[in-house]
Structure 1
């Protein structure tokens, strides 16, 4: 018999077929799991694979609801729905959204921040073409956390899945010198961390932190890309992977 634990496992692996089979077997797409809606458990998961949108579609077809048409379009990378919403109300370009996520905090961010966090490239392209501000900052909370621009969400993604959004934002003129005094990573998660005084380049290097758990080669490849984009050239890679840490 399928269980809620099975559903969470299918979320973790981004397996649309397993999610479908588990729901068909009787697990509810609506009953709270550890105090959270199942669809939120999927959204706040740490994987950023191309299968995410298909997983979300299965949940929606089964009766789940994201609760916000704009956020839903962004998470599904549904450019057609987004285009319709922009046509009806251009203000969605700067509208503030919030979603609990596994990595860079998505509180009071813009649609482009969400695209960067989830590598929603089709929606990201549409937003940029429609005039979305690639350097819009998230709102800063009462503790002084936040103020990041969309590119921060793409520079140290798991398995480097968000590299396409990083490149798109750089091509669109994202500033690589913007500084964020305090940025929250992994809100409410066991790996929750506050990082201080970061730019897109230094935040990319935070991928070396143990709790960030990013591949060292990906980290330095992203740094080199960003430094070349900013300075015209980047120093040669040295001691990657780090020999001392390999001992």
Structure 2
């Protein structure tokens, strides 16, 4: 169902990468192409993102089930931020499909910050007057401008995001659902050393659901650790997914 980009030999071990909020599978092209020498890398557009279908719902159960449809056996699973929460729920609901799990800079907790301001900023762009992607960036937060603009289809003058559903479902995106059981397989919680998304007080919740969890940080990286330190992120994936 999801639109996917693939890299590498389909006969190689499968590695699924789930992107974060407002992202797309192609955000991961550089890392995915480098990893494709060892893995068959699958990078989906999550529901309500990119070229994947639009829905009225955006729960982590929805997203986990979407990801499960892409896996036909035990696979390596990597997820960042929103995609990390979806990957966690996938591992908890379908442990037989997850050989090893890497969760990038997110914890199974509810966060207080919201991302609705970015939705409002994207809506405020007069797309009818846009001829070049750079022209749309004036209203956007400089810290995430380039990232958000990757989801702008200038030719069709539309955002490749279901902004209405993402706004309506923001409370679900910020939270983490009640999930029974645990995932006993190897799990790596990889964080940016400069990020505040994964705190020491989150570890009991992580260990409760993922008793075999390991923790590591990338130096001089924040929440967007894979974009800020791509080679280090790639090396961590290769070291863990063996």
* TM bin (shorter chain): under 0.3
Structure having the higher helix fraction is: 1
Rg: which structure is higher? Answer: 1
Structure with higher strand content: 2
TM-score, normalisation: structure 2 = 0.25
The structure, 1 or 2, with the larger RCO (C-alpha pairs under 8 Å, 6+ apart) is 2
Normalised to the residue count of structure 1, the TM-score between the two structures is 0.25
